[in-house]
Amino acid sequence: MSQPSPTDLVAEAFEAQRDRLRAVAYRMLGSHADAEDAVQEAWLRLSRQDTAAIHNLAGWLTTVVGRISLDVLRSRQTHPEASYDDRLPELVVTVDDGPAPEDDAALADAVGLALLVVLESLRPGERLAFVLHDLFAVPFDEIGHILGKSADAAKMLASRARRKVQAAEHPTAAGREQREVVEAFLSAARRGDFEGLLRVLDPGVKLTVDTPAGVVVVLGATEVAAGARRRLSAGAPTRGRAVLVNGLPGIVSWHEDGTPLSLMAFTIAGGRITDIATVIDPARLASMNLPAPE
C-alpha cells in the first residue's frame, strides 16, 4: 500500500483544524461567507509554505486566520459605506417587561446571539484580542504578534473589549439607565437635536442597517447622528414598543396598518451607545417573531 504524500498529510491536518478555524473567523467577522473566505485563504497560504518549518500547525493557522480577519475588519472601517452579506446574526426579540427567559436553553441561545451583536461594536484590535484570548485561549504574546503590539497592549485591548461585552452578557430586562439612554437618543432624533444625539453616542459608534438591498454599515457619531436626525425627525411612527433584541435594549415600530416598520437594538457602555443594529428590510421583519403592538 502506498504511503500518503506530504501534500495529502498537510490537507488532512488542515481539515482537522477547519471547524475551529471557521469558528474563530466567524466570531471575528460575524459573517459565515467571510469566515469561509478567511479559512480558504489560510489554506492557500499554507499550501505555499514549507510545512516542515511549521512546528505548531494549529497555532500557525490561528495566527493566519487572525491576521486575515483583522485585515477584513480594518477594511470595513476604511470603507464604511460598503454593504456586506450575512452581517447581522439571527435576532431573537422578546418583550422587555420582566426577567430573563425561564427556559435555560433559550437563555443560553440569547447570550450567544447577544455576544455576536456586541462583538460588532468592538474596534478591530479589541475584537481580535477578546475573541482569540477569551474564546479560544490564544496567549497574549501571540495576539500581540498578530497586532504588531506588545503582549501587555494586547491584554489591555482584551480587557477593554471584555468590559463592553459584559454590559450585555445577561439577557434580562434592560436596566433603567440603559433605557434612559435609548429614550434620550430617540427623543433627540425626533426633535432634530444634533447636539443631543452626540451626547448619547460614543464617538466610535457603529450603525448596522439591514435593508432590502443588503446590509450597510455607518461609523462615527457625526454620521450616525446626522442619519438618525434625518430619518426620525421626518415623522415618528405611530406605534412603538420596548423589546429585548438578543438580550439588548431595543424598540420595534409599526406602520399605521400594523405592518412592521423597523427593529432597532442598542449596545450601551459607559452611558453611551456604542452600537446600533437596525432592520428595515420588510421581508426580514415579516419573517421574525415580533410581539404585537401595544
Interval 127-175: pLDDT, tens: 999 989 988 889 999 999 999 999 999 999 999 888 877 765 544 445 6
Interval 170-229: pLDDT, tens: 444 456 788 889 999 989 988 889 999 999 999 989 888 888 888 888 889 999 999 888
69 and 145 together in one domain: yes
190 and 159 together in one domain: no
183 and 132 together in one domain: no
184 and 268 together in one domain: yes
Q: Give me the domain span that covers residue 224.
A: 176-287
Burial class (CB in 10 A: 0-12, 13-18, 19+), 106: middle
259 and 151 together in one domain: no
Residue 114 placed within a domain? no
Residue 254 placed within a domain? yes
Residue 88 placed within a domain? no
Residue 231 pLDDT: 74
156 and 137 together in one domain: yes
Residue 142 placed within a domain? yes
What's 243's domain CATH number?
3.10.450.50
C-alpha to C-alpha distance for 19 and 87, rounded to whole angstroms: 20
Neighbouring-strand partners of residue 239: 254
227 and 201 together in one domain: yes
55 and 160 together in one domain: yes
135 and 203 together in one domain: no
216 and 157 together in one domain: no
Residue 216: alpha-carbon gap to chain centroid: 13
What's 24's domain CATH number?
1.20.140.160
Interval 80-130: pLDDT, tens: 544 444 455 566 677 665 444 444 444 444 445 556 667 777 889 999 999
How many folded domains does the chain comprise?
2
Q: Are 217 and 206 in contact (CB under 8 A)?
A: yes
The Cα-based distances of 11 to 16, 66, 143 in angstroms read 9, 20, 25
42 and 187 together in one domain: no
Residue 195 pLDDT: 92
